[in-house]
Amino acid sequence: MKKKKHFGTPLNIIVFFVLFFGIFASSHAGNPELIVTWKADNFYPTSYTGKAIPSYGTKTSFAVEAIQDGKLLDISKSTIEWRKNGERIKKGEGQKEALVVFSNTDRTSFVSVSVLINGTSIEKSISIPITEPRLVIEIPYKNLTAPKNSDISITATPYFFNATSLNDFSFSWNINGIKKGTGTNNKLTLNTGNPSSQSDSVVTILGYAQNKKSLLEIKKTQAKLFISD
What lies within 8 Å, CB to CB, of 50 at 6+ separation is none
Could you report the per-residue pLDDT of 19-69, keeping only the tens digit for each?
Answer: 444 444 444 468 999 999 999 999 999 999 999 999 999 999 999 999 999
C-alpha 12/C-alpha 112 separation (Å) is 49
pTM: 0.80
Residue pair 41/81 in contact (Cβ under 8 Å)? The answer is no
48-60 as b/e: b if 16+ CB within 10 A = eeeebbbbbbbeb
Residue 113 confidence class, pLDDT cut points 50, 70, 90:
very high
Check if the beta carbon of residue 39 is closer than 8 Å to that of residue 61: yes
Strands 145-147 and 178-179: unpaired
* CB contact at 8 A, 121 and 114: yes
Give the three-class secondary structure for 114.
strand
Set out the domains of the chain in order of their start, with CATH numbers: 33-127 (2.60.40), 134-228 (2.60.40.10)
Which of these, 40, 32, 35, 52, lies nearest to 96 by C-alpha position? Answer: 35
